[in-house]
Amino acid sequence: MGEKYLERNTGFRKWWLMMRPHTLTASIVPVALGTAMVLPLKHPDIPLFIAMLLASILIQIATNLFNEYFDFKRGLDTAESVGIGGSIVRDGFRPKTILHLAFVLCFTAMLIGIYICWRSSWWIALAGMICILTGYLYSGGPRPIAYTPLGELVSGLFMGVFIIWISFFIQTENLTLNCILLSLPIGILVGSINMANNIRDLDSDKEKGRRTLPILLGRSRAINVLAALFAFSYLWIVGLMILQVDSAWLLIVFASLPKAIQATKLFRGKTKSIQLMPAMKATAQMQTLFGILLSVGLLLDYFI
């Protein structure tokens, strides 16, 4: 099973996988959800939605490429690296090509950001620059965020919570309590994808001097925390319904619960990175399903 994660990729496939497409739902879902929240207030501006979606995807791909480049420069990736990471050593990319492409994507996102600012507020320029800088500092700089226990928190805030807020704000020019409260479980689940990745890579990260949250907690405790984050996300939605902050339609998110249970079970009793790839994949799928279903719940509440 593991060999497919180590095979050398060729042609378009290696370029596609280098961008880590399986992670992109972490930026797509928050934009979609933030825009769906606009419906009770007004009809969303579709060009603004598309622009925000493109900018978010480009920034995330750039962040992935910065991670690819700096992990290579620090000697963290080898030809045996598990997963999509390690494209430089495994698929023959020139390091500078990866770095330059990341900067081009950031610049393109900035151009799209000018359009978004023109159509909404120039304060978005500041928020966008902070997001791009965070994407760079996640792997780059003298003290990369990815090598500290703050990786999950930063990714959850910037790729989850803040993206939802910005997507909502550019449509309405304000933030509501509902938007803030509904953004929290998505931020938690985006951070959970990061945590699942760090659990998978715990042993190799520890050998290479990283101090990620799973390393500090230990494997067993980290898996328990991951399961607790899943549970909290569902209970949060139940709490919003009980407090009448939102409608019972949001309980549709429980249709994703089997995937959360599957992800947790797949982490139990395994220690090798190659064995944990299915668990990592299930975690990303769970976040995607949860976010899509939450958006569907908002749509049902609006149209029915």
Give the CB-side neighbour count of residue 88, counting CA atoms within 13 A.
21
Q: Which domain holds residue 194?
A: 2-303
Give the residue from 289, 183, 299, 175 showing the smallest Cα distance to 236. Answer: 183
Give me 120's structure tokens: 């909404």
Task: Specify the amino acid at residue 21.
Answer: P
End-to-end CA distance of the chain: 45
Number of domains in the chain: 1
Residue 6: predicted pLDDT? 46
For residues 62 and 167, what is the distance between their CA atoms, to the nearest angstrom?
Answer: 19
Query: For position 39, which CATH number holds?
Result: 1.10.600
171 to 46, 116, 157, 183, 268: CA distances (angstroms): 10, 10, 20, 16, 43
- In tens, the pLDDT along 72-88 reads 887 766 555 555 556 67
- The owner of tokens 């910065």 is 66
Q: Which pLDDT tens digit goes with each residue over 176-193?
A: 999 999 999 999 999 999
Q: Per-10-residue mean pLDDT for the chain, 304 residues long?
A: 49 73 84 94 94 95 90 69 60 84 96 96 93 92 90 92 96 93 94 92 85 94 96 96 87 96 92 85 93 93 86
User: Token digits for 139?
Assistant: 């792997």
